[in-house]
Structure 1
């Protein structure tokens, strides 16, 4: 199966003689397919453009329209044509010859250049606090600098890089069906590399394999050895030594010490010198902005922001004039099993442990046909210098969630303050604290901006679509698959698959076979249903990858549900179509309330986008997809009527050159717009589908509010998370709602309640402990909180 969808997948059920539609599923997946119609005639959407608001010059200069036509390549498909030689022996040694062909730039004299850098020399001469002039001998400081430098990096060994690339090729071909890369995106990156500024790739983090796969891909495309910023907590000393020889970087633990610590000052100075030397030499650098999937914590990585802070500092002090940032993402049909387990282990991954995991992965994949498809996404590069200049103009006033939402939850007020939400869950580490407060804010917002771009650039895989349909629309599984694929493409997102529908579904179900059951309901018909318990939980995690595509519409649908919650008749919400008028101001208010409730890590709003512009975007999406229809208010004049009697008399005649009044001063204040629910037949199902996309998170929040009456507080954060997760499991067994049984949803609920003022973190001799605030100690306020959350849930 190729990972490109160059045509629209469309099937139409055929009618049987008795008037009923024949089932598309049949024994052995034999099915009748209609002709395939190309999607939008010819092209698929090209994703990955940089922000036109923050980086307009980069948006114009680093993109050409011909790039979108270059197509895809499979980077692990190495044949005789990929070498300079031909022949029978070459075909059997093409992996080895290919590894010898890779260009590895020399890296000589790097430690000496770092020792000669201005920052390190100031420490050695004692011209800054914490250096040799603070009571330490220069030789001792020099030895300490060399020790820290050895912990951070080592010169890449060309022999090891070639050997590792040669050994990695057969492993990737055993595990992956293909690893696709858009040649147009690669051409953009090559063009940016030729501009002279160093490349800094900022990536999401799906699995440990990302840090191995991305350097391999970029080395095979001629970008040289990629320096990867690894997390030292997940690697043993032996594995760290190997990764350093392959181009890895590790932040020393001393860098996270307090600002007044001489050890922390020295470590941060050496790391800054290392980054400056890398950028000056033009070597590409890879930083993971997202925490690994097994980590219970914030989505944004504190370590990634620390490395990015060093890059921002190097540009600001003028070591390099500019750096080009490239948002990167890697998507998989299914995240490979073996590398994922390391994040759940109690000890770091060792060299032999990793080798055994690779062998187990090879054995498992050789014994079955579960080969995974993968896609590497490289978004349009943009200038860090340009972003730094333009982004500061977007900073406005912000308030905490407690100030914004708590009075409305308790019924003390109804107006939503006209300000943005301040919510930062990622802890600030020592390297980031060493920057000015304004630069800290710049790094955090840049991280949000790039992570949002990486997620928007990621392709949706077939397993995410299948999991979503099984959870929310499984009664029309096959007929809805091609519809949902087309809806994804229409919203400007890409998909990571192609091929005939029958083969595609066979491949997808083979990857999900541990979590679904195939039931033969009658002769020739099969029913695909998710397995209860952990199977539903796994499908919910996969379906979350589809949420960024429909997030605006899902927020709008849940907001409409909250607006009409008190007027819903027994027959259902859609019985109000054509009856109830929804004002634009009321819709804005409900959207804002839900936006403030949802975690920032989920919304991933770009810092240059205000909440009210997002409200307008949500409303526009609801109108575009047909759920809402604009209506004129009864007795009002049409919106396009600009008749003379709507102007004041003083504006009818004015002397030329009189600019004392604005032309808009005499107009009557425009009346608010009104909307009705659409009367199209497909709208109720689509509305329910959108609401259910957000239901796992909202149900977890609602159950967390109900748990306030049973939870044992005070307790540590980890202890209370365990209590809440056990409560979610027990509730799922009773009600069959397994979609919200996820530790990440539990910790998100606890952190949101802490920001909302429901829970308070108080110091204690044994460490910080969570307490129930006095405001929400009463049962009445707890019920108000639960009712506020449940208004957005559509059952």
Structure 2
């Protein structure tokens, strides 16, 4: 889908080598006659990763580099042009010459352990520990720090780093076909690293190889290799010793998980002091954050605390988006035997898939903290936001932003609620920025089309046309795509990657195959995981579409419009054309979208944007898509506004930033009606289906509360909910995208914030049980009805 000529813009942006010289497909000639190639893709690719114009306007004005797309570089394509020498022998050892010529910044340990032990933070923590009092000469205190001594002495060995980088280049060449790196913001990152402030790279955790890919990319571009915060527990002593000489900060051997390590107050204090010393040395850091649980965000909170105390002047944050053709689980246990088996398996394995890495524009964390632009409204508990709506007490309906205190796993240092909210806002902002940097891969586009638009199957030619349409929509939303080539080749490559999860049917009467997503739990979860980048790009439209669907449901239930299929009607067919001759008020649509925003996982929208503004964008996005038509109705004509709330929301329709007398006057009411183009219902269903997996998991979790009589430990409670989700999907033989462990965890966390589940703190762990308010079946039915209104079937 990129012009065949080499224009210098899309360097090395093509299909993997094993897909370039394949035989022509039998249905290619037919598709090429009907599917136009988007010729603008090569010249007008969007530049992603700009700074937030509200939180960091100063960093946005200091942009370095071109404003146009600079192209990609294939990290695995190393030849003699990247070395200082030329010749036949150089071509054989060019990788060794390239690695030996890369710049390496050493990091000697020197007296780091002594400096950490002498810090006031560590001294106070040791003095508060009763065991530390047993050592009269200080040996008792040092013994408490002995488990953390290898972590504190983590360093970067120059020779070992060069050798490991050469080995990793060979390994990734056997694992991936292509590792593309976007070159747009690399000059700005290089300049920021030279100005003095340490650089902190933030990415969203997807795979265990994230920790290895990012340092290798920086090493190959002559940037400082960061100290990597690794959340994976590694038991092998040999691997731990090697990784600690490559700048990898591991978990303590006594802690199995990151949550368990954070429960140790001494660990949090020692890690904060270690961060202070590393930043004083000018070292770079690499931190991965979980988009569901927020794990990893405590490291950002520690850095912000150091800036607030004045221990560190400032740091430069760089969000990084790492996109894969194939996504696997990142929670793995690594041992020496498993690593050796994995390395040996690469000898008989052909490279599969590709990786695209986007660096965002660097910005100052101090500017974001001191300007306080990242927080625009007060955080409120979710039960204060939604319970009045669920129980139809609209007189007490409150508008605000959902409070997510659980994003900070270790909040002992955040005693001030305002400081704690600011740390949470920064975590949410970085999750949003890193997710926005993810490129739309070919497998992501095909997975989203098969899951959300063609659930019953699609022919190859129609799939190619929809891939072109979806590519144009992503580029229109300033999201880059991580593929190139001709349309049939791109689709064929994506189908090959997704082949284990698809069913291909061929008929004698058809010249092209018919593709259906395999109706199984593993296949549906894999496709749903691949489609996340597309979901994030269409999230605003999806929220608006689900809000419109909820309004249509209320119209149908009130008997004011034509029939719309719901979950309670299983196999009923709607006769004739669907006519939606109903007018919706703007305030009602926005309120529906606003309530839905509170049910979504963290990081879907930046905290610097108010929820009301996001809801307004959701409604306006449907007007741009052609689903809704805006109508200006005079004041003397009543609107079919059957849920009017006086004074709920007040909006000025003028775009003039300077207020005038006309802005104080009451504006004419704005209303919307659904357009009647033939493609409108299909687009509405496509957008609503994107959020159906999360909403359906919430509904099924609410129904599972009847099966839990007594409080259970949190891990066991989530396990039971996950089992219930899988059993329900197996009974229905569909909706497997609602059965992942992440869906169960997110649903349980939402119900805790909503006050449906009650947390009880105990020494052995937290217990979860149904709160007294929702032990009534009537109240649970109201909750289920509130969530299910957004489901469009």
Q: Which residue of 1 aligns with 2:543?
A: 555
Alpha-carbon displacement from aligned partner over 1:578-597 (angstroms, at most 9, x marks no partner): 62111111111111221122
- Contact in 2 for aligned 1:254/1:264 (Cα 8 Å): no
TM-score normalized by the length of structure 1: 0.84
Aligned in 2, Cα 1:74/1:774: closer, same or farther, shift over 3 Å? same
Q: Which residue of 1 aligns with 2:47?
A: 46
Report how far residue 313 of structure 1 moved. Answer: 3.2
Is 2:429 the counterpart of 1:453? no
Alpha-carbon displacement from aligned partner over 1:680-727 (angstroms, at most 9, x marks no partner): 222111111000111111112222222333444433333333333333
Is 2:449 the counterpart of 1:469? yes
Aligned in 2, Cα 1:253/1:175: closer, same or farther, shift over 3 Å? closer
Q: 1:594 aligns with which of 593, 596, 601?
A: 596
- Contact in 2 for aligned 1:238/1:350 (Cα 8 Å): no
**Distance in 2 between the 1:122 and 1:710 partners?**
47
**Distance in 2 between the 1:545 and 1:488 partners?**
10
- Contact in 1 for aligned 2:447/2:531 (Cα 8 Å): yes
Report how far residue 785 of structure 1 moved. Answer: 1.7
Report how far residue 127 of structure 1 moved. Answer: 12
Q: Which residue of 1 aligns with 2:284?
A: 284
Moved more, 111-120 or 583-592: 111-120
**Distance in 2 between the 1:765 and 1:394 partners?**
34
Aligned in 2, Cα 1:281/1:771: closer, same or farther, shift over 3 Å? closer
- Contact in 1 for aligned 2:536/2:604 (Cα 8 Å): no
Is 2:517 the counterpart of 1:525? no
Aligned in 2, Cα 1:707/1:321: closer, same or farther, shift over 3 Å? closer
Q: Which residue of 1 aligns with 2:582?
A: 580
DSSP-derived class of the 1:751 partner: helix
Report how far residue 440 of structure 1 moved. Answer: 3.2
- Contact in 2 for aligned 1:70/1:183 (Cα 8 Å): yes
Is 2:298 the counterpart of 1:306? yes
Alpha-carbon displacement from aligned partner over 1:97-132 (angstroms, at most 9, x marks no partner): 222112222333x33255247953896799976699
Which runs of structure 2 are paired with 1:382-531 in the superposition (5 Å)?
Answer: 382-391=363-372, 394-413=375-394, 416-429=397-410, 433=413, 437-474=417-454, 475=458, 476-523=462-509, 524-531=511-518
**Distance in 2 between the 1:153 and 1:193 partners?**
23
- Contact in 1 for aligned 2:73/2:180 (Cα 8 Å): yes
DSSP-derived class of the 1:514 partner: helix
Q: Which residue of 2 aligns with 1:732?
A: 729
Aligned in 2, Cα 1:122/1:374: closer, same or farther, shift over 3 Å? closer
- Contact in 2 for aligned 1:26/1:525 (Cα 8 Å): no
Aligned in 2, Cα 1:701/1:3: closer, same or farther, shift over 3 Å? farther
- Contact in 1 for aligned 2:179/2:356 (Cα 8 Å): yes
**Distance in 1 between the 2:117 and 2:724 partners?**
57
**Distance in 1 between the 2:363 and 2:550 partners?**
40
Q: Which residue of 2 aligns with 1:112?
A: 111
Report how far residue 361 of structure 1 moved. Answer: 4.3
DSSP-derived class of the 1:331 partner: strand
Moved more, 231-240 or 545-554: 231-240
Q: Which residue of 2 aligns with 1:13?
A: none
Q: 1:721 aligns with which of 718, 731, 741?
A: 718
Which structure has the bigger radius of gyration? 1
**Distance in 1 between the 2:268 and 2:222 partners?**
32
Is 2:530 the counterpart of 1:539? no
- Contact in 1 for aligned 2:697/2:747 (Cα 8 Å): yes
Aligned in 2, Cα 1:224/1:708: closer, same or farther, shift over 3 Å? closer
Moved more, 566-575 or 611-620: 566-575
| Alignment size in residue pairs | 728
**Distance in 2 between the 1:585 and 1:536 partners?**
37
Alpha-carbon displacement from aligned partner over 1:272-315 (angstroms, at most 9, x marks no partner): 44323322332211111227xxxxxx4311xx233223322332
**Distance in 2 between the 1:227 and 1:72 partners?**
25
DSSP-derived class of the 1:330 partner: strand
DSSP-derived class of the 2:205 partner: coil
**Distance in 2 between the 1:783 and 1:117 partners?**
55
- Contact in 2 for aligned 1:114/1:120 (Cα 8 Å): no
Aligned in 2, Cα 1:527/1:632: closer, same or farther, shift over 3 Å? same
Q: Which residue of 2 aligns with 1:567?
A: 555
**Distance in 2 between the 1:118 and 1:354 partners?**
35
Contiguous gaps of at least 5 residues in structure 2:
11-23, 566-575, 639-658
- Contact in 2 for aligned 1:3/1:496 (Cα 8 Å): no
DSSP-derived class of the 2:249 partner: strand
Is 2:313 the counterpart of 1:321? yes
**Distance in 1 between the 2:742 and 2:146 partners?**
40
**Distance in 1 between the 2:120 and 2:768 partners?**
46
TM-score normalized by the length of structure 2: 0.84
- Contact in 1 for aligned 2:504/2:513 (Cα 8 Å): yes
**Distance in 2 between the 1:126 and 1:547 partners?**
45
Aligned in 2, Cα 1:589/1:237: closer, same or farther, shift over 3 Å? same
Query: Cα RMSD between the aligned structures?
Result: 3.5
Moved more, 486-495 or 147-156: 147-156
**Distance in 2 between the 1:256 and 1:739 partners?**
29
